[in-house]
Structure 1
């Protein structure tokens, strides 16, 4: 029954991807963005132990990765203590198979036993928020810079751009696909992934993760972006005006076990 439900869920995901902005298709790389919301009584150490010693090693054993793990930077202003986990999948069918493989992995079940033995009164986190994204034409594959994990000062931004409706959402995707990303690169904003939402709490939207060598370089990169001549031209294109209704921005630092 569980396997049937997973297959039905992935079939629904395939159908949703077919309606995304072209040329997205059923072979698009997918990104699962999980947010382990800790709340006031969450046990961050327990979640870290589960992710670093059970889930991520199991994913790695089955060729799934690189997996990113991040939490709020000291200067993040969202107020929600969360551990974000980014899991890439080759396509929807691979995602369904990956879930089944992990659940049937006996080593994973053993390594995660203590984590799942906790009950309602001593749970490790409040809830898990989830979003599924399909890679966009402008950045079709997850890219992790060489030796990035050696830099202990690196910081990240996870941004979600909501749109009021699907048409405006497609136009924002079009804006990224036709000019915004080269400006990012020119300003020192390094994408790890960029995806259009298939399912999630803020659809229609796109979400992306970017990396910076330091907090100072992050601030300078966005200053350069706002002042970039190409951005000033692109942002004034009539059809792109009003495409974003709300922005969610998290400033993040990597967990020691992050592969991104």
Structure 2
């Protein structure tokens, strides 16, 4: 299993918009395209309270590449993105890491 940790740094005041987009659309579209939802978090204590951190999972690197490609090219995603940007851009910066569990990790 390959895990991807992603952090979306939102523009000030736009965290509610990204949370709504994920809750109402993105998570379902991820699952449709083989992107497994693991967890979603906001920052209570830390560097920034304008961030959404989430983790998704894939079988392997090839499945990850195919899933992201299918997701990005989904016409429904294009519509959701356009609608969610009506009041302005949401995300200022995206950081991601690909993580592989250690042999002793409870999460395999």
Q: How does 1:1-260 map to 2 (within 5 A)?
A: 154-165=1-12, 167-237=13-83, 238-239=85-86, 241-260=88-107
CA spacing shift, 1:258–1:239, aligned 2, 3 Å:
farther
In 2, Cα distance between the equivalents of 1:256 and 1:219? 24
Work out whether residues 171 and 239 of structure 1, in 8 Å CA contact, stay in contact via their aligned partners in 2: no
3-state secondary structure, aligned to 1:235: helix
TM-score between the two structures when normalised by the length of structure 1? 0.39
TM-score between the two structures when normalised by the length of structure 2? 0.90
What are the Cα deviations for residues 90-142 of structure 1, in whole angstroms up to 9, with x where unaligned?
xxxxxxxxxxxxxxxxxxxxxxxxxxxxxxxxxxxxxxxxxxxxxxxxxxxxx
In 2, Cα distance between the equivalents of 1:240 and 1:214? 37
Runs of 4+ in structure 1 deviating by more than 4 angstroms, as ranges, are none
Q: Displacement of 1:196 after TM fit? A: 1.9
Taking CA–CA contacts closer than 8 Å with sequence separation of 6 or more, which of the two structures ends up with the larger relative contact order? Answer: 2
In 1, Cα distance between the equivalents of 2:49 and 2:33? 28
Q: Displacement of 1:202 after TM fit? A: 3.4
Q: Displacement of 1:201 after TM fit? A: 2.0
Q: Displacement of 1:241 after TM fit? A: 4.3
3-state secondary structure, aligned to 1:220: helix
What are the Cα deviations for residues 19-45 of structure 1, in whole angstroms up to 9, with x where unaligned?
xxxxxxxxxxxxxxxxxxxxxxxxxxx
Work out whether residues 194 and 209 of structure 1, in 8 Å CA contact, stay in contact via their aligned partners in 2: yes
Q: Displacement of 1:240 after TM fit? A: 6.2
In 2, Cα distance between the equivalents of 1:258 and 1:156? 12
Tell me the C-alpha RMSD between the 2 structures: 1.3
Q: Which runs of 5+ in 1 are unaligned?
A: 1-153
In 2, Cα distance between the equivalents of 1:173 and 1:243? 10
Which of the two has greater strand per residue? 2
